[in-house]
Amino acid sequence: MNIQEYDIMNEIAESGYENQRILTEKTGYSLGKVNQSLNELIQKEYLTKEYQLTEKAEAEFEKKAPKNAIILAAGYGIRMMPMNREVPKGLIEVNGEPLIERLIRQLHEAGIFQIDIIVGFMKEQYEYLIDEFQVNLIVNREYAQYNNLHSLALAKDRISNTYIIPCDVWCEKNPFSKRELYSWYMVTDLVDDESDVRVNRKLELVSVDAEKSGNAMVGIAYILEEEAEELQSQIKEMCKKKAYENVFWESALMKKGKMYVSAKIVPSRSVYEINTYEQLRELDDTSKQLDSDVIHLISEILACEPNELEEIEVLKKGMTNRSFMFKCRGKRFIMRIPGEGTEMLINRKQEYEVYQVIKPLGICDSIRYINPENGYKLTEFIEDARCCDSGNPEDVKACMAVLRKFHESGVKVEHTFDVFERLEFYEKLWKGIPSCYRDYKQTKAHVYELKNYIDKQEKQISLCHIDSVPDNFLMTKDRIALIDWEYAGMQDTDVDLAMFIIYSMYGKEQADALIDAYYTEGCKKEKRLKIYCYVAVCGLLWSNWCEVKYHEGVEFGEYSLRQYRYAKEYYKYVKEELENGL
């Protein structure tokens, strides 16, 4: 049977046969297509001449009936800031009902009670579902590192006549049924620039070019036993490859430029994927999740109403924080919310002190609010700004001039940033877990050998940024702003140069060019060698920091590996120079 025949047979099973025109209205197929399909179904003995289901048809329905469902609910739902600070995305409420509860009830209405839910972020909040709905929770411990392909992999062997469902969809009508006759993936009739697929004339879902639009992807699918084996095999192979760490599970449905399951098209107004604060507000402006403490705080600071906050957009996930941008009365702002475990790594009272002392310098972005207790920070967005290009010598020279002027400003705070103390502190946060690097103890011993040389050298102690990396230099036509002062403290100013070098992943030639851009009058060999020492120490410092985050499930890829290499390579540079008599 083709898809049209399946749909028409399913409609007759649901509502019975009245006449062909009613079938046309309900299925959306032309009268000619309905007539043709009815004749085919009779000829194939799925319908009697009176358009009643035959035993063969009933056997087909029984064979392909839904058995179970898998709900994907492990991810952060990072685009849902600030709502996802308080509840995971599946428990966001629409009309007083959590999204995931609505999905479970709709599954129950369709006679489906075997439900697995893949959880990760805020997994404890889903625990009550076990007692209330007798579901099974499967924990994805690596939810922070991988996308939902890896979540589905945990339940791939359970896929067979199975619904696969994202937890963040709201369906006006029940999308599930006791009767299914073919595998499908749900899309809407809405044109979506972010979609990877479009429906062609054969009701196939085919890939679209990156610059073209497709049909909005809902994420709900039904997979028959026939296609389950193919899907399981695809998932297994894709999860072995690093290239698929951040892909969605739908990628496993693609083969030779199209999905090997059919399209199920629904009206865009009948199903909503809730990814953002504004999407929830559009669907249900009374949802209690809209009553966010962060939104209320912003409203108080800006003296505005919550509904005046528009175009809420989550910024790229940072190493430490979760931030989102929004517009209010024509002006854009950025709200920073500290990320998981931040309280162990950053002293917010010290950060607050730093912002107070640098305020008269006009060097940073405009701070509208900062809380010394929890680290919440609201800043004005700098329009038409770009980050420093570490590969552009002119950019680097301009930023080093700003950095040096700041170092010479004379501003002070009471606290210091001791690189060796922090190195030990981050190591303690591993809680006894050995380093990921087999030769860590030797590398650490070598780095400590450099401390003796550093201690003997002349230093300019000043307030340092510490995180003086290219991404924190924002350049406009009129000025250069240095942002994100979380780690700032009193230290030798040459540490800021080392930090720029290691974050930029410079080779030695580029590192020397950076030093020359800062010390335009020339840099003595002893000082240059001291900066090399700092590169080694700071490389190990941030390598240890990355290991702290790794134990929390956050992976930084090449960045963490390169930091460790700086510790080893620059130790060798310094040793060679000292052995050669400087």
- Judge contact between 396 and 519, C-beta under 8 A: no
pLDDT digits (tens, 9 = 90+) for 152-175: 999 999 999 999 999 999 998 999
Rounded-to-integer distance, Cα 182 and Cα 64, Å: 8
Mean pLDDT value of segment 496-513: 96
Q: Does pLDDT of 419 surpass 70?
A: yes
Rounded-to-integer distance, Cα 574 and Cα 582, Å: 9
Encode 122-152 in three state secondary structure.
EHHHHCHHHHHHCCEEEECCCCCCCCHHHHH
Pick from 4, 3, 1, 2: which is nearest to 29 by CA? 4
Encode 450-485 in three state secondary structure.
HHHHHHHCCCCEEEECCCCCHHHEEECCCCEEECCC
Which residues fall within 8 angstroms of residue 479, CB to CB, at 6 or more apart? none
Q: What is the DSSP string of 472-522?
A: GEEE-SS-EEE---TT-EEEETHHHHHHHHHHTT--HHHHHHHHHHH-TT-
Mean pLDDT value of segment 16-20: 88
- Judge contact between 354 and 463, C-beta under 8 A: yes
Mean pLDDT value of segment 334-349: 80
pLDDT class of 321 with cuts at 50, 70, 90:
low
* DSSP alpha helix (H) spans, 170-292: 225-238, 277-283
**Spatial strand order in the sheet of 377-380:** 309-314, 321-328, 331-338, 377-380, 367-370
pLDDT class of 77 with cuts at 50, 70, 90:
low
Rounded-to-integer distance, Cα 31 and Cα 25, Å: 9
Q: Count the neighbouring beta carbons within 10 Å of the beta carbon of residue 493.
A: 20
pLDDT digits (tens, 9 = 90+) for 36-63: 999 999 999 999 999 899 999 899 999 9
For the ranges 79-83, 215-219, 315-319, 323-327, the lowest mean pLDDT is seen at 315-319
Mean pLDDT value of segment 235-258: 90
* Bridge-based pairing state of the strands 115-119 and 136-139: parallel
pLDDT class of 566 with cuts at 50, 70, 90:
very high
For the ranges 88-92, 144-148, 182-186, 394-398, the lowest mean pLDDT is seen at 144-148
Rounded-to-integer distance, Cα 508 and Cα 461, Å: 25
In the numeric block, the tokens 């993936």 are attached to 185
Q: Which long-range contacts (CB under 8 A, 24 or more apart) does 36-42 make?
A: 37/2, 37/4, 37/5, 37/8, 38/8, 40/1, 40/5, 41/1, 41/5, 41/8, 41/9
Which residues fall within 8 angstroms of residue 535, CB to CB, at 6 or more apart? 498, 501, 502, 511, 566, 570
- By CB atoms closer than 10 A (0-12, 13-18, 19+), residue 315 is middle
pLDDT digits (tens, 9 = 90+) for 195-217: 888 988 888 899 988 778 888 88
Across the chain, which distance is largest between two alpha carbons, in Å? Answer: 102
Residue type, 145: Q
Q: Does pLDDT of 352 surpass 70?
A: yes
pLDDT class of 339 with cuts at 50, 70, 90:
low
- Peptide bond preceding 82 in cis form (omega within 30 of 0): yes
pLDDT class of 565 with cuts at 50, 70, 90:
very high
Global pTM reads 0.67
Q: Does pLDDT of 286 surpass 60?
A: yes
Pick from 373, 321, 310, 300: which is nearest to 483 by CA? 321
Structure confidence at residue 469 (pLDDT)? 95
For the chain, domains (ranges, CATH) are: 3-63 (1.10.10), 65-273 (3.90.550.10), 292-381 (3.30.200.20), 386-579 (3.90.1200.10)
Structure confidence at residue 316 (pLDDT)? 58
Pick from 429, 245, 241: which is nearest to 344 by CA? 429
Listed in order, strand segments (DSSP E) in 175-316 are: 184-192, 197-199, 204-207, 214-223, 254-255, 258-266, 271-273, 309-314
200 three-state secondary structure: coil
Structure confidence at residue 89 (pLDDT)? 87
Dihedral sign, CA of 326, 329, 331, 335?
negative
Rounded-to-integer distance, Cα 506 and Cα 93, Å: 48
Structure confidence at residue 202 (pLDDT)? 83
Q: Does pLDDT of 378 surpass 90?
A: yes
pLDDT class of 138 with cuts at 50, 70, 90:
very high
Structure confidence at residue 536 (pLDDT)? 97
Listed in order, strand segments (DSSP E) in 283-342 are: 309-314, 321-328, 331-338
